Structure 1
Amino acid sequence: MSERDLSPAFTLQDAREAGLTKDQVYSLLGREEIERVGRGVYVRPDALQPALTALAAATALREDATLCLTSALVHHDLSDAIPFASDIALPRGAHHPTGLANVTWRSFDPQTFHIGREFVDAGEGATVAVYSAERTLVDCFRLMHQEGSDIAYEALRRWLRRKGNTPAGLLKVAGSFPKALPRIRQALEVLL
């Protein structure tokens, strides 16, 4: 078995289940055919989109890992920010894995966690979850006290300029987040 038979992001346990020994994994690591991105988590860097490497590694540990907030804004081209770490959400109460490089874990309400969750290909069939642009905007307004109002308003401006985006679509998603809905309505009134 070679490293090409492994998923683009995998754990040591995944490698064992695929028939590789720990020594074989370390040999691949020594030949720089794979990279260690966290404790027991490896990636084939040539197989993944660089911007989604941390998310793919997080997904190898937790299937429900989802790109959110500023990192999702950048993914949707709604921000020019260069985040130091990927913002990755898990349902509140879920264990946040430790030892994963360049990840900021976020906890979101399990009741609304799956709203706006979309799946994209990170490379060679590795599927990762990213919140939709609308859900990300709602989260930025909902967590404005943490993320900053300038980020939320600039992202909303960019989103509104895109063809096919309508306030009704954003308000539909925002309807599931009663505390954020008034802020978004007010922002839309100001910007429209």
Structure 2
Amino acid sequence: MDRTAALPPHAFTLDEASAAGFNARTVQRLAADGRLERLAHGLYQRPETATYDTDLYSAATRAPDATLCLTSALAHHALIDAIPARIGLALPRGTRRPATAGTISWHLFDAETFTVGRTTTQITGTSAVVGLYSAERSIVDAFRLRGVVGYETGIEALRTWLRRRGSTPAALLSVARALPRAQGPLREALTYLT
């Protein structure tokens, strides 16, 4: 019987491996033999259990404040058709970005407004959670940071959002008031689309 079955079915740390009866040297040997996959420093998984986004899981476990933002959040809320090539994650300005190998694009947002519209969502296939900006915050950010995501992205997201039942411009403008440089472009787009 394969002893690695005693390890968690999701990515795990060396402490979690120790709780399952595996010391650090054994875990490193199993990784060198190809029976475990090393995702990041001190983070491993069984290859047959990788049914989730390992880059997102690794980033979220290494940076608990990490929050899906910009095109990643817009795609999560089904407000744009594009599938982002990289996972956009925000951290409060002043926070150290963890070293991640993979498709993560880190963004630093003002610490005072970082939590505006922030919730959490479970990472599919794991028990871990990652931060997620609300649809309204994501649209406002798309206008506020249009130089990063492209002006058309905000327009597409806003158009899709306005078609949804219960979506009101007042909700967007309420979020925009808390974030600098967002109100002007958002008001202009709302005037054009409504």
Q: Settle same-fold status: TM greater than 0.5.
A: yes
Q: CA deviation at 1:190?
A: 0.5
Select 1:3's aligned residue among 4, 7, 10.
Answer: 7
**Which residue pairs with 2:27 in the alignment?**
25
Corresponding residue pairs, total: 188
Instruction: Output the TM-score relative to the length of structure 1.
Output: 0.84
**5+ residue gaps in structure 2?**
none
Whether contact under 8 Å (1:12, 1:40) holds in the other structure is yes
**Which residue pairs with 1:183 in the alignment?**
185
**Which residue pairs with 1:64 in the alignment?**
65
**5+ residue gaps in structure 1?**
none
Q: Which amino acid aligns with 1:100?
A: A
- How many angstroms apart in 1 are the aligned matches of 2:30 and 2:170? 51
For the aligned residue pairs, the C-alpha RMSD in angstroms reads 2.5
Whether contact under 8 Å (1:67, 1:87) holds in the other structure is yes
Alignment of 1:75-94 (within 5 A): 75-94=76-95
**Which residue pairs with 2:133 in the alignment?**
131
- How many angstroms apart in 2 are the aligned matches of 1:42 and 1:135? 34
Whether contact under 8 Å (2:7, 2:20) holds in the other structure is no
Q: Structure 1 residues 168 and 19 mapped into 2: Cα distance closer, same or farther (>3 Å)?
A: farther
Identity, in percent, stands at 45
- How many angstroms apart in 1 are the aligned matches of 2:49 and 2:172? 34
Q: Which amino acid aligns with 1:110?
A: A
Q: CA deviation at 1:78?
A: 0.9
Select 1:150's aligned residue among 143, 152, 156.
Answer: 152
* Cα shift readout 1:13-35 (whole Å, capped 9, x = no counterpart): 55457653223434664565x54
Whether contact under 8 Å (1:71, 1:86) holds in the other structure is yes
In the alignment, is residue 119 of structure 1 matched against residue 113 of structure 2? Answer: no
Q: CA deviation at 1:39?
A: 3.7
Instruction: Output the TM-score relative to the length of structure 2.
Output: 0.83
**Which residue pairs with 1:167 in the alignment?**
169
